[in-house]
Amino acid sequence: KIPETGEVVDIDGDMLLGRPEDRVRMVLKKR
């Protein structure tokens, strides 16, 4: 499952995305 835009992504989200860069981008987008 790919998190929706602006959704908070944590370590679990990192595993879902498979790419730490995407996790950071999503978290920054939320903030």
Domain residue ranges of the chain, discontinuous segments joined by +: 1-31
Q: Is 4 helix (H, G, I), strand (E, B) or coil?
A: coil
pLDDT of residue 3: 56
Q: How far apart are CA 8 and CA 26, in angstroms?
A: 7
Give residue-wise pLDDT tens across range 1-31.
555 656 565 555 555 555 666 656 666 665 5
- What predicted TM-score, i.e. pTM, was given to this entire model? 0.22
- The DSSP secondary-structure symbol of 1 reads -
